[in-house]
Amino acid sequence: MTITSDWHIHSLNSCDSASLPVADLPPAAARSGILDYGLTDHIHTPVNLPDLVASRADYLAADPSAHFHFGVEVSCVSQWELDELATGSHGEPVYGLRQGGPVGATPAIGIGPEDIERLGIEFVVGGVHWPLYIEIERDAVIRDYHRQYMYLATHPLVDVIAHPWWWMGHWKDENDRYLADPWFDDFGRIPLSMHDELAAAAIEHGKAIEINISACLLNAAYPDDFGRRYVEEYLGYMSRRGVTFSIGSDCHSREYAVDFPGVGSMLDSIGLRDEQMWRLAPAQQAHR
């Protein structure tokens, strides 16, 4: 398939290694054959809301066409940390409070409807980025991640479930790779019932499941054949469940240079077509 949309792109306003100037994106997207796309800088908790304000300012300064949309990537965090951070006694941890919360903490996201309205956010990509205070053991991580995916898949503000079964953090080997735990040596470790449950929720609640290029399909830290297996064992399975997919490069680099043709070929193996992909209609109102 020929990929013509991209709904997961970070600019230098993301708090991690991302470094793309927003003004560079429209010409680079055009050169890549991307017709409809959106900016999605990170928001974890209200602590890093200023990043999103800066992202919005850069977006408007780029004089965006109706095909260039403004979105956000929200992290699944805990209500416990949002409450703790609101007390003001923890300083300004950019990634929230990753230690000390209760096992089984209630999931949450760091923005509400007012922020979305005020910042002109057109779509929300929701990602699971860390376990919520559980023991780091593979089956426990799988259960906790599934719990967070289900939270996002039923959240009224979320449109796209980002990079299902992406992993970073614990279990990195001496070569900075993840070759076994938590599911890289055996994707079947994740029960099919979890895929069934997420697919059903996504369909019922109108969410798209992301096909994430950098984090899942072409992640150099994962086993060499992981991308191919992920396409066959996961995306193929979810496709047969009837989910809607969304394409996301998850670009974090200075240049917007993504191997869309190569990924299109990978997706041909499970018969996906670009017409099936989730996409926003061109924006109607003047910006906006």
Distance, in Å, from the CA atom of 187 to the CA atom of 232, rounded to the nearest integer, reads: 11
Q: Which stretch binds Zn ion (CB under 5 A): 77-85, 154-162, 171-179, 219-227?
A: 154-162
Q: Which stretch binds Zn ion (CB under 5 A): 94-102, 122-130, 167-175, 191-199?
A: 122-130
Query: Phi first, then psi: what are they for 125, rounded to 5°?
Result: -100, 125
Distance, in Å, from the CA atom of 178 to the CA atom of 170, rounded to the nearest integer, reads: 9
Distances (CA, A) of 235 to 173, 188, 222: 27, 13, 17
Q: With respect to Zn ion, which residue has the nearer C-beta, 74 or 119?
A: 74
Within residues 162-191, the interface with Zn ion by CB under 5 A covers 162
The DSSP 8-state label assigned to residue 282 in this structure reads: P
Q: Which stretch binds Zn ion (CB under 5 A): 58-66, 96-104, 155-163, 264-272?
A: 155-163
Q: With respect to Zn ion, which residue has the nearer C-beta, 41 or 181?
A: 41
277 three-class SS: strand
Task: Using CB under 5 A, count the residues that bind Zn ion.
Answer: 4
The one-letter amino acid at 198: L
273 three-class SS: coil
Residue nearest to Zn ion (CB): 127
The answer to whether residue 127 forms part of the interface with Zn ion (CB under 5 A) is yes
Which one, of 196, 192, 113, lies nearest residue 150 by Cα?
A: 196
Q: With respect to Zn ion, which residue has the nearer C-beta, 3 or 204?
A: 3
Enter the tokens of residue 88: 């003001």
46 three-class SS: helix
229 three-class SS: helix
Which one, of 149, 140, 155, 163, lies nearest residue 40 by Cα?
A: 163
The answer to whether residue 144 forms part of the interface with Zn ion (CB under 5 A) is no
Q: Which stretch binds Zn ion (CB under 5 A): 63-71, 90-98, 158-166, 195-203?
A: 158-166
Q: With respect to Zn ion, which residue has the nearer C-beta, 54 or 271?
A: 54
Provide the minimum distance between the beta carbon of 251 and Zn ion in the complex, in angstroms, as a whole number. Answer: 8
> In this structure, how many other beta carbons lie within 10 angstroms of the beta carbon of residue 176?
8
Q: With respect to Zn ion, which residue has the nearer C-beta, 127 or 164?
A: 127
Site string for Zn ion, 218-257 (x = CB under 5 A): --------------------------------x-------
Give one DSSP letter per residue of 120-133, joined into a string: T--EEEEE--S-SS
Q: With respect to Zn ion, which residue has the nearer C-beta, 160 or 186?
A: 160
Provide the minimum distance between the beta carbon of 224 and Zn ion in the complex, in angstroms, as a whole number. Answer: 22
The answer to whether residue 210 forms part of the interface with Zn ion (CB under 5 A) is no
Q: Which stretch binds Zn ion (CB under 5 A): 46-54, 66-74, 77-85, 136-144?
A: 66-74
71 three-class SS: strand
Footprint of Zn ion (CB under 5 A): 73, 127, 162, 250
